Amino acid sequence: MFLSLLVYNLFTLGIVKAEIYREKVNEQITTSTKISARRGIIYDSEGVILASDRTVYRVFTSTKRLKAFKASTGRDAVGVICEAMAPLLSLDKDKLYKRLTSSPSLDITLKRAISEDEYKALLSAVDRLSLQGALAVEATSSRYYPEGTLLAHVLGFVGSDSQGLYGLEYYYDKTLTGEAGYYLYGKDANGNELPSGFTDIVEPKDGNSLVLTVDTRIQSALEGILEKIRIEQMTSSRTAGICMDIKTGKILAMATSSPFNPNSPYELDAVSQGALDASGLTAGTDEYLKKKRELLELSWSNKAISETYEPGSTFKIVTVASALDSGAVSVSDKFSCVGYLAVGGWHIRCHKAKGHGSGFDLAYGLQMSCNPCMMTVASRMGADSFYEYVKRFGYLEKCGIDLPSEAGSIFHDADKIGTTELATASFGQRFKVSLLRQLTSVCAVANGGRLMKPYIVDSIVSPEGNIISKTSPTVIRQVVDESVARTVTDILEAGTSGDGGAKNAAVAGYKIAAKTGTSQKFDVLDENGNSYLRIGSCVGYSVNEDGGGIAVIIMTDEPQGYVKYGSVTAAPYVSELLSFALPYLGYESACQSLETEIPDMRGMSRSDAETLLKSMKLTYEIIGDGEYITRHTPSGYEKINESTARVILYTDESEAFVTVPELLGMEYEGAVKALCEKRLNIGASGAVNPEGCTVISQSVPAGCVVPLGSIIDIEISYLEFED
């Protein structure tokens, strides 16, 4: 019986459960080390690397290492490490000592990521101090954003474990994250690797890469413009903008002002740090840390998609397109405006206090942004029809872009739209949308009535370079008839190129359809319960024969300057971005440049230089008695306006200077006259047609002394429009 029991147990252990015990033995005599996979690369549309992994080094030790070092050398490694390594690794000596002496962890990380140069300096210090065995270093990967703050709000960032936390890094985390490998080896009872050579390696599989629709040159231009707005318009809240391909829904650029650096996301940007410093809170207190955390989370937020605002008069594009498509109005209908319209017991005013008069048509009402006209149009449609078109244009749903935290619209319920709600909604007030939603819906008009789904990832690519998936443009639905969309576009374009309220958004040589808007912020009220903060915005798009083109929207949140209207705080900047992006993308201009390039005439004889300038029909002046040109202002290859150009030639060491006049607030014609009288050259940007424009900035402040012939750049804008 005993023998039978023994044989049975041996059979069970050796045959039936052999695999189970084999695995237990392997677990006891082997150990494994994780080999991290590299996260996928993020590229822009032209192949520029925006995010990738780079090799860094983790510095660590262990209680076992420290004890072994002391046993073999008789030296206390902790003291040496704290004294010598803390300064080298930029660590606090006292905090490091506490961690090394009281940490319950067997593996103690001194610093998670040091660079190649820091790694070499560390090895040198270890050799010098004979600390071999007390410290260990392992190569690991760290996320790196080579372009710094560029596209930060879209890219997001990763945590210390390389897990996506914000932006594309979060949304496409599973796609970007690879499969970790491991290194398996035999160990003895003390955990040391066996010399038997028993090893096994499972190679890691790197993550897939993303190719974006974003173009870094347009993105860089947009970010620069938003920072310019922040300074010039003295905004007290963040500014945002988007550039989109009209036909496909591709996002070419998306930005929020004062971007953080994803390489160090827990450090406040300069503007946020200034707000924290101005809070009066004591550093290190709970209130201070709470405020810092709030500012950090705000700085990470992509304002273009995650926050909502009242679109104001830019929504009038949708109102007019909907009314025409429904048949409630026609382009030949006549309207009147006395400065307000009585609706539901309220006098809802127009921006033009004296009104726009009577007998004007729908085109004029849209171009001049007349509120009573829009309220009349919406009234003729009726609440049910108006609500149906709001739904068609997508305002009751998210855009569905491949980015996290897209905000939905806040709109009236269908059964709660009374006469007052209908009136205010007609000109874009008392409801909220995201900037992306507004641009996408307006692009439906630009795109012949087709509402597109916006997207920012063009394709997903394997580590071997094979395309796994590619995004195709998606038409959500036809919202209005193509002929209606063309009519509204023509109205907007005529207003932008003519005398409409959006003419600050015009671009020389291109047909631009644009609409400005200014909305009130009702979230913050003064002591009397009145709204006093404003949002200025502008949306504009290029009008091309093939129906393609690009659209831009810019929203200036809480401008603090004298003029707060979107026609001034947003439209000129839409024009500036379109002026760069359109020729960059290959859209041909219909006009010839009025600028001429100054040739380099240094070393020429006086007579040859005079002959050349006369042939170019440029005004010039020669200073000095020498025979040859030593220098000239403007210098060679600079471009100046040929109609007002003046070239100052020097033939010896003579110098001639002049004081720059005050130009701010002057009309364009007066500024030109003032500069010409001072024998200075003028460079103008901003509004396309300078007649009636005002100088809003000058490159050299008044009172500065500059050489004769210097170019003084001015920016001009129309200031008489409200919206």
- CA–CA gap between residue 378 and residue 20 (Å, rounded): 77
SS3 state of residue 616? coil
Cβ neighbourhood burial of 1 (10 Å; 0-12, 13-18, 19+)? exposed
Comparing 55-139 with 308-451+477-569, is the CATH topology the same?
Answer: no
The single-letter code of the amino acid at 308 is T
Residue 595, token pair as written in the block: 């600028």
Strand partners for 552: 243, 540
Residue 337 per-residue DSSP state: E
Task: Going from the first residue of the chain to its last (723 residues), give the mean pLDDT of each consecutive group of 10, the final group possibly shorter.
Answer: 87 79 66 77 97 88 81 82 83 84 78 84 84 81 94 96 95 94 64 59 88 98 97 94 98 97 95 93 94 96 97 98 98 97 94 95 97 98 98 98 97 96 97 98 98 98 96 98 98 95 94 96 85 94 89 97 91 96 92 83 95 93 94 92 90 93 94 94 88 91 95 90 73
Query: ω into residue 634 within 30 of 0, thus cis?
Result: yes
Residue 467, token pair as written in the block: 């395309």
SS3 state of residue 683? strand
Identify the helix (H) or strand (E) that includes residue 319. helix 316-326
Task: Give the pTM.
Answer: 0.86
Contact 367, 491 (CB under 8 A): yes
Decide which of 3.40.50.2000, 3.40.710.10, 3.40.50.920, 3.30.1950.10 is the CATH code for 308-451+477-569: 3.40.710.10
Contacts of 650 (CB under 8 A, 6+ apart): 622, 623, 624, 629, 630, 631, 632
Contacts of 531 (CB under 8 A, 6+ apart): 520, 521, 522, 524, 525
Nearest alpha carbon to residue 561 among 230, 222, 224: 230
SS3 state of residue 361? strand
SS3 state of residue 351? coil
pLDDT at 84: 79
209-212 and 181-186: which strand pairing?
A: unpaired
Tokens 């405020």 sit at which residue? 291
- CA–CA gap between residue 297 and residue 280 (Å, rounded): 20
Residue 38 per-residue DSSP state: P
Q: Sign of torsion, CA 436 441 443 447?
A: positive
Contact 312, 431 (CB under 8 A): no
pLDDT at 541: 98
- CA–CA gap between residue 504 and residue 650 (Å, rounded): 40
Query: ω into residue 265 within 30 of 0, thus cis?
Result: no
Identify the helix (H) or strand (E) that includes residue 295. helix 286-300
Exposure string (b/e) for 269-292, b if CB count within 10 Å is 16 or more? bebbeebbeeeebeeeeeeeeeeb
Most distant CA pair in the chain, distance? 129
Identify the helix (H) or strand (E) that includes residue 242. strand 240-245
711-717 and 681-686: which strand pairing?
A: parallel
Any idea where the domains of the chain sit in the sequence? Answer: 55-139, 308-451+477-569, 595-717
Q: Sign of torsion, CA 85 91 96 100?
A: negative
pLDDT at 139: 79
- CA–CA gap between residue 659 and residue 673 (Å, rounded): 15
Tell me the fold of 595-717. Trypsin Inhibitor V; Chain A (3.30.10)
Contact 515, 492 (CB under 8 A): yes
Contact 491, 529 (CB under 8 A): no
- CA–CA gap between residue 628 and residue 645 (Å, rounded): 22
Contact 518, 534 (CB under 8 A): yes
- CA–CA gap between residue 700 and residue 661 (Å, rounded): 9
First to last CA, the chain: 103
Q: Using alpha carbons only, how large is the chain's radius of gyration in Å?
A: 34
Nearest alpha carbon to residue 320 among 489, 477, 452: 489
SS3 state of residue 236? coil
pLDDT at 25: 64
Phi-psi region of 432 (alpha: psi -120 to 50; beta: other; left: phi over 0): beta
Contact 443, 244 (CB under 8 A): yes
Contact 292, 281 (CB under 8 A): no
Helices and strands in the chain: count of H runs, count of E runs: 25, 33
Tokens 């979107």 sit at which residue? 566
Looking at domain 55-139, its CATH class is alpha beta
Residue 621, token pair as written in the block: 């002046």
